[in-house]
Amino acid sequence: MDKRVSVYRREHFNAAHRLHNPAWDDAKNNIVFGKCNNPNYHGHNYEMEVKVTGVPAADTGFVIDLKFLSDIIKEEILEKLDHKNLNLDLPEFAKLNPTVENIVIVIYNILRSKIDTKMDLQVRLYETPRNFAEYPAE
């Protein structure tokens, strides 16, 4: 049996967003998204947990160097999302509603391309301490 271990790195970013479907009129957007539809945006302290699963290397004892993982997250995710307006500043959300579900998929897809496919990857994103999402689902 291989000794597969999951390691996690937690990082945070602050961003503005609004929930909005441009195919709907304002009344429907307001009914569906409520105060999250505020045209002037609101924002969150997003906390993300990135989980990488693999076998620890014999010489280092690392599944992945968590400092290296932290650097990847900073370069690929925080550089793009931190202190940004998700709707206006990110092409990914030009037509995609930045719900916590869609943001976590976008983050996963970026990181998936940067981490060796021998390792499994999962991302959890906290929009608030009481609302969060995880992708892919177990």
- CB of residue 73 to its own copies, shortest distance in Å: 11
Strands 84-85 and 5-17: parallel
- CB of residue 121 to its own copies, shortest distance in Å: 12
Rounded CA separation 68/131 (Å): 28
**Residue 17 binds its own copies, judged by CB under 8 A:** yes
- CB of residue 27 to its own copies, shortest distance in Å: 15
Annotation marks residue 49 as catalytic: no
**Residue 26 binds its own copies, judged by CB under 8 A:** no
Distances (CA, A) of 113 to 11, 66, 110: 19, 17, 6
DSSP string covering 54-101, please?
Answer: EPPPTTT--SS-HHHHHHHHIIIIIHHHTTEEHHHH-GGGSSS---HH
Active-site residue, from 36, 76, 101, 134:
36
Residues tagged active-site: 36, 83, 127
Site residues for its own copies per CB under 8 A: 3-12, 14-17, 19, 21, 23-24, 32-36, 38, 40-45, 53, 56, 59-63, 65-67, 82-85, 88-89, 96-102, 104-105, 120, 128-138
